[in-house]
């Protein structure tokens, strides 16, 4: 075996570092393939692309603006590389490869990254699997050690027990995200009709349950050896690092891993339909849904861009034809068109969620959708259509460059599927070159009078609502599994250094919080801001103290409904005209409301700030409050509330809040309101709440952008004319007496999982007091992936996809919650394990190792806290809302370093007494009640 990392070759290259050329000598076997620099106003990502002798592609992007790095390893393997009858392997491997490798012990991957102050995850789609970490920059070598070990040394640590546990975890993920969600199975059933039998997109990424059940350890070993090799991978590193040192590390840890089998790019052939196919599905939903799709091209085909533009015209927001013909007219609660593209195929997809109070029959909805397509043919394409989409694409591209992780994922994606990391400029040009004739051409080629797939999803027992009788019947997923032909084996790697030794962290980082400025407008509104020069963008948040908490409980939902009306017409322009103006700017303006505040979120390119702020002022100071808008928005909210009754997570949140805070105050009722309260809200109520909430004395601004204070403040002068007094919160209503130790069950028949919540009322928010310290105390119990409850229920027993616990605090009240979703058949066992873990922790507290882990993890994670404009804005809002000193994080750091284990364990004893907590289960009562009763707790059935 050649040891590329020890020998140094004679190849040298000039690289740019801090605008100064620096000569570095490349390690032997490492070849520079490409250098990309951005100059002037050019939009792109500077990088250098290398290749190791074993075929691993390495992309390096230096960004020294924050002391962090993102490491991404993308393998060109997804579910499309699987065999029929062997689905789900790629996604299963996403899980398996977090379970340790030859030199990295079980659970050490998550523990190492988390303790280093980082975040990590992995994702799988049809065409690729990626693993990524963002960590403080002094932890880079450690990340390369971890990633290389699972690339080259995974199989020796793979055991049958690990395989079985992760297979159960994947089943739980499927149950939680697909089987237990409204419309959850729609996509996989739809794709069976859309793609030819045997097409690699015809089965779900997560796999068919029968395929997962049939899989064995030898199958997955073969799959790993076939696809997870350096010559089928791209390693992308972005952030604050030294390039020469990083290349040496990369070659040291990855260079001795041998090449795997050669991998050919998958063949691309356009999907064709011989005839229109209809299929349907009954589901536990309230709102019928219709989905229509036409096969088109594949990613980066020359027709992709004009098809995207066509989708935008037909259903891309409030200026689209589908919005006008279905949503505004009241026939649909939601409607839209999109054109998602994958490596091998794209779908031109139209959907509409019916408003059953006006038209529940999906056949009538189908006609309106097809009529909209015909209307487009007559309407044609305008120059405004072209300009709008091009501006939006440019803006979304620039906003995608706000984080190192965003840039790294873009580079990795482009390299994997196009062999060219930086395609931003060429992609922008692709869209800029689209003509009106192009759009009409692709309409004629792929949409007009072409076969399609039409799927109806209707409530259980209401088959009469489907668009047309089924013409497509999916084949059974229980099939004879194909045998994996041939064997692939790799030679064991004899490493020339001791891989069991985890690399140490680099020198301690110097962390810097954002430099904050404050200034008041002429009317006294406080503006808090910071300058961020990484992208030419502005993020502006306008917060108004009050929100849902201002509202009488009998009018719950009023703050949310008023915000929705602020997103509609002004008194000067229609909703569509305002939406068109924002789309032509590539800007985003959104009103919303939460428990303690209403808010306005503004995102725009700096060059379009003045025009965007003019629209904000128009919406804010001249709301239309038109009766037609109100009737439509209220009806949509009522239908959405009906729909949410089928969502287990919504039912659990609603019931839990009700139990903790009762029905006498706003905290016990969701900010969206209830069917009864929203039904009673009038337009006069909205107008009155607007006068009370949207006042200058309630308002505070937070701004992040590339303009200095001296340039930004004059641009905000229009808000200096705002007036109005502050609003006092009404007294908090009576809180209920908690019946600790009681189990409450909300029945959801045929639920695939049970949602479990355990908790109690707890402390309001504070930055350095008992609330802050309680979250430190909770961290080993349920605050991290490798916490006690998650390791027990997920990693040890395979009962759940995840379990966590946390303290959440507001201005007046807070709560403690343990939450998880588990398989229905292990509901009682899961609850028993949670009770044991909470009781054990409350009685004995954390260990010395857990204390050390908590200190390292939380203190080092601060390096990641202030990277993006959104993160900077959130940090400033904490200071503003809770009147904190700007150095409060220094005080938090000191507490983390000095608080004793005894102090934290005393808090655990005080705050985690199970006798003070209620227990909630949302699941199938007929399947869980008997076993749960055996735990010995009193049980009450809760009717929402």
**pLDDT tens figures, 67-100:** 999 999 999 999 999 988 889 989 988 888 888 8
**pLDDT at 480 (0 to 100):** 44
156-160 own/partner pairs: CB under 8 Å, 24+ apart:
156/101, 156/102, 156/492, 157/99, 157/100, 157/101, 157/102, 157/104, 157/106, 158/96, 158/99, 158/217, 158/220, 158/221, 158/224, 160/217
pLDDT band at 23 (very low <50, low <70, confident <90, very high): low
Report the pLDDT averaged over residues 739-754.
Answer: 94
Are 844 and 777 within 8 A, CB to CB?
no
C-alpha span between 546 and 275 (Å, rounded) = 56
In this model, does residue 10 exceed pLDDT 50? no
| 670 and 580 co-located in one domain | yes
Is residue 462 within 8 Å of 282, Cβ to Cβ? yes
Mean pLDDT of the chain: 92
**What's the token pair of residue 501?**
């030794």
Is the pLDDT at 3 greater than 70? The verdict is no
Please report whether residue 144 resides in a domain.
no
User: DSSP code of 138?
Assistant: G
Which residues make Cβ contacts (< 8 Å) with residue 553, sequence separation at least 6? 663, 664, 665, 666, 668, 669, 677, 733
Strands 289-295 and 453-459: antiparallel
Q: Are 817 and 849 in a shared domain? A: yes
Give CA–CA dist 435/443, Å, rounded: 13
Asked if 597 and 558 sit in the same domain, the reply is yes
Residue 479 lies in a domain: no
Greater confidence, 335 or 943? Answer: 335
Using one digit for the tens of pLDDT, what is the confidence trace for 485-496? 455 666 777 888
CA-closest candidate to residue 188, choices 288, 120, 283: 283
Whether pLDDT at 831 is above 70: yes
Distance CA 164, CA 96 (A): 10
Residue 18 pLDDT more than 50? no
Statement to judge: residues 824 and 879 lie in one domain: yes
Say if residue 569 is in the same domain as residue 456: no
Q: What is the mean pLDDT of residues 249-263?
A: 95
> What CATH number is attached to the domain comprising 329?
3.30.830.10
Residue whose C-alpha is closest to residue 705's, from 617, 604, 589 = 604
Asked which of 721, 753, 770 is the last residue of a domain, the reply is: 721
Which burial class, exposed, middle or buried, applies to 879 when counting CB atoms under 10 A from its CB (0-12, 13-18, 19+)? buried
- Which residues span the domain enclosing 195? 79-118+154-228
pLDDT at 492: 72
Do residues 345 and 435 share a domain?
Answer: yes
Mean pLDDT lowest for which of 29-43, 161-175, 269-283, 678-692? 29-43
Asked, for residue 491, whether it belongs to a domain, the answer is no
User: Which residue matches tokens 């990693």?
Assistant: 795
Residue 909 in any domain: the answer is: yes
Gap between the Cα atoms of 73 and 412, Å rounded: 8
**Which helix or strand (DSSP H or E) is residue 278 part of?**
strand 277-283
Q: Which of 378, 313, 390 is nearest to 350 (CA)?
A: 313
Question: Residue 390: its pLDDT value, please?
Answer: 86
pLDDT in tens, 455-484: 999 999 999 999 999 999 877 654 544 544
φ/ψ bin of 107: left (φ > 0), alpha (ψ from -120 to 50), beta (otherwise): left
Q: What is the pLDDT of residue 6?
A: 25
Cβ(597)–Cβ(546) below 8 Å = yes
898's enclosing H/E stretch is helix 888-898
Q: What are phi and psi of 392, to 5 degrees?
A: -65, -40
CB 546 within 8 A of CB 598: yes
- Mark which of 169, 195, 228 sits at the end of a domain: 228
Residue 490 pLDDT: 67
808/659 same-domain check:
no
- Asked if residue 921 is part of any domain, the answer here is yes
Looking at residue 16, its pLDDT comes to: 34
Q: Are residues 194 and 91 in the same domain?
A: yes
Which among 65, 131, 47, 61 is positioned nearest to 863, based on CA atoms?
65
Task: Look at residue 41 in the predicted model and tell me its pLDDT.
Answer: 66
Strand runs (DSSP E) across 119-252, as ranges? 119-124, 129-136, 233-239
HSE, CB side, 13 Å, CA atoms: give it for residue 241.
Answer: 32
pLDDT at position 107: 84
What does the pLDDT read at residue 171?
Answer: 87
pLDDT digits 0-9 by tens, 145-189: 999 999 999 999 888 888 888 888 888 899 888 998 999 999 999
**H or E stretch at 849:** helix 848-860
- pLDDT above 90 covers a percentage of the chain that reads 82
Q: Which residue has the tokens 């045997």?
A: 198
Percent of the chain scoring above 70 in pLDDT: 96
**What pLDDT is attached to residue 815?**
97
The number of folded domains in the chain is 4
Query: Is residue 933 situated within a structural domain?
Result: yes
pLDDT at residue 19 is higher than 50: no
**31 located within any domain:** no
Q: What is the pTM of this model?
A: 0.93
Q: What is the pLDDT of residues 752-799, one digit of tens each?
A: 999 999 999 999 999 999 999 999 999 999 999 999 999 999 999 999
Q: Write down which residue in 690, 721, 752 finishes a domain.
A: 721
In a domain, 762, yes or no: yes
The most confident of 211-225, 230-244, 381-395, by mean pLDDT: 230-244
- 700 and 571 belong to one structural domain: yes
Parallel, antiparallel, or unpaired for β 47-51 and 57-62?
A: antiparallel
Residues 646 and 690 reside in one and the same domain: yes
Same domain, 564 and 642: yes
For residues 201-230, give the mean pLDDT: 90
At residue 489, the pLDDT reads 66
Confidence of residue 119 (pLDDT cuts 50, 70, 90): very high
Burial tier of 811 (Cβ tally within 10 Å: 0-12, 13-18, 19+): middle
pLDDT (average), residues 852-870: 94
**For residues 809-815, average pLDDT:** 94
Question: Which whole-number Å values give the CA distances from 429 to 426, 496, 532, 600, in the listed order?
Answer: 5, 48, 27, 33
Do 709 and 589 share a structural domain? yes
Q: Describe the crossing of helices 217-227 and 160-174 by its angle, rounded to 10 degrees.
A: 80
Over residues 550-558, the mean pLDDT reads 96
């Amino acid at each position: 075996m050649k040891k590329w990392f020890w020998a140094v070759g004679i190849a040298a290259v000039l690289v740019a570092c801090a605008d100064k050329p620096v000569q570095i000598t490349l390690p032997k076997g490492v070849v520079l393939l490409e250098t990309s620099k951005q100059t002037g106003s050019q939009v792109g990502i500077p990088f250098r692309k290398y290749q190791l002798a074993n075929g691993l592609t390495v992309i390096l992007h230096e960004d020294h603006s924050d002391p962090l790095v993102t490491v991404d390893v993308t393998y060109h393997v997804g579910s499309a590389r699987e065999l029929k009858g062997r689905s789900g392997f790629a996604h299963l491997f996403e899980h398996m490869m977090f379970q340790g490798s030859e030199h990295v012990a079980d659970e050490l991957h998550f523990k190492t990254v988390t303790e280093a102050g980082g975040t990590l995850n992995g994702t799988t789609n049809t065409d690729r699997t990626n693993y990524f970490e963002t960590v403080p920059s002094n932890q880079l070598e450690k990340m390369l050690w971890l990633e290389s070990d699972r690339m080259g040394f995974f199989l020796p640590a793979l055991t049958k027990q690990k395989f079985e546990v992760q297979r159960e975890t994947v089943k739980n993920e499927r149950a939680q995200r697909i089987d237990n969600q409204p419309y959850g199975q729609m996509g996989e059933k739809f794709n069976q009709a859309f793609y030819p039998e045997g097409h690699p997109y015809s089965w779900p990424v997560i796999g068919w349950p029968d395929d997962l059940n049939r899989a064995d350890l030898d199958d997955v070993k073969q799959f790993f050896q076939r696809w997870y090799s350096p010559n089928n991978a791209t390693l992308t590193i972005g952030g604050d690092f030294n390039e020469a040192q990083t290349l040496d590390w990369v070659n040291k840890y990855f260079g001795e891993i041998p090449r795997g089998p050669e991998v050919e790019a998958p063949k691309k052939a356009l999907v064709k339909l011989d005839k229109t196919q209809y299929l349907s599905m009954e589901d536990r939903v309230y709102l019928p849904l219709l989905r229509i799709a036409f096969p088109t091209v594949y990613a980066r085909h020359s027709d992709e861009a004009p098809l995207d533009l066509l989708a935008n015209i037909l259903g891309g927001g409030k200026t689209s034809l589908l919005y006008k013909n279905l949503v505004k007219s009241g026939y649909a609660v939601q409607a839209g068109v999109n054109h998602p593209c994958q490596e091998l195929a794209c779908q031109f997809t139209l959907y509409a969620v019916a408003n059953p109070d006006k038209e529940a029959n999906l056949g009538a909805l189908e006609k309106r959708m097809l009529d909209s397509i015909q209307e487009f043919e007559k309407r044609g394409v305008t120059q405004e259509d072209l300009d709008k989409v091009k501006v939006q694409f440019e803006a979304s591209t620039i906003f995608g460059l706000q984080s190192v992780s965003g840039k790294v994922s873009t580079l990795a994606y482009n390299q994997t599927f196009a062999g060219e990391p930086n395609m931003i400029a060429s992609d922008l040009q692709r869209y800029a070159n689209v003509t009106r004739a192009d759009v009409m051409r692709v309409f004629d080629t792929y949409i007009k009078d072409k076969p399609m797939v039409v799927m109806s999803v209707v409530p259980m027992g209401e088959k009469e609502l489907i668009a047309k009788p089924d013409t497509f019947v999916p084949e059974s997923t229980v099939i004879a599994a194909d045998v994996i032909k041939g064997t692939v084996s790799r030679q064991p790697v004899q490493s020339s250094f001791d891989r069991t030794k985890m690399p140490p962290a680099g020198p301690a980082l110097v962390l810097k919080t954002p430099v904050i400025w404050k200034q008041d407008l002429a009317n006294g509104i406080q503006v808090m801001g910071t300058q961020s020069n990484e992208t030419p963008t502005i993020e502006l948040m306008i917060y108004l103290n009050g929100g849902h908490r201002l509202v009488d409980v009998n009018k719950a939902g009023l703050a949310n409904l008023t915000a929705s009306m602020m997103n509609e017409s002004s008194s000067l322009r229609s909703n569509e005209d305002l939406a068109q103006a924002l789309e032509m700017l590539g800007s985003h303006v959104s009103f919303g409301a939460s428990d303690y505040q209403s808010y306005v979120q503004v995102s725009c390119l700096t060059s379009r700030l003045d025009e965007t702020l003019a629209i904000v002022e128009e919406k804010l100071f001249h709301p239309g409050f038109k009766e037609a808008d109100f009737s439509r928005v209220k009806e949509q909210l009522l239908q959405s509330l009906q729909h949410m009754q089928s969502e287990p997570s919504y039912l659990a949140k609603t019931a839990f809040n009700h139990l903790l805070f009762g029905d006498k105050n706003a905290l016990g009722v969701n900010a969206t309101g209830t069917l009864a309260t929203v039904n009673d809200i009038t337009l006069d109520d909205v107008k009155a709440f607007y006068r009370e909430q949207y006042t200058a004395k309630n308002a505070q601004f937070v701004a992040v952008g590339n303009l200095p204070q001296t340039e930004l403040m004059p641009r905000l002068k229009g808000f200096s004319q705002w007036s109005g007094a502050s609003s006092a919160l009404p007294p908090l209503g009576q809180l209920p007496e908690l019946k600790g130790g009681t189990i409450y069950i909300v029945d959801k028949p045929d639920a695939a999982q049970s949602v479990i919540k355990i908790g109690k009322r707890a402390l309001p928010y504070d930055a350095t007091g008992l609330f802050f310290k309680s979250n430190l105390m909770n961290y080993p119990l349920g605050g991290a992936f490798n916490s006690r409850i998650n390791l027990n229920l997920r990693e040890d027993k395979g009962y759940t996809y995840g379990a966590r616990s946390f303290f959440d605090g507001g201005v007046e009240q807070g709560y403690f919650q343990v939450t998880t979703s588990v398989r229905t058949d292990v509901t009682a066992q899961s609850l028993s394990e949670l009770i044991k873990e909470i009781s054990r922790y409350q009685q004995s507290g954390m260990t010395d190792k857990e204390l050390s882990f908590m200190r390292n993890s939380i203190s080092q994670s601060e390096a990641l806290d202030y990277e993006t404009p959104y993160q900077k804005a959130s940090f400033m809002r904490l200071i503003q809302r809770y009147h904190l000193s700007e150095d409060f994080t220094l005080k938090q750091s000191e507490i983390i370093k000095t608080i004793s284990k005894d102090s934290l364990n005393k808090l655990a004893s005080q705050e985690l007494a199970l006798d003070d907590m209620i227990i909630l289960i949302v699941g199938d009562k007929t399947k869980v009640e008997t076993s749960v009763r055996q735990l010995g707790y009193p049980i009450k059935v809760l009717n929402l």
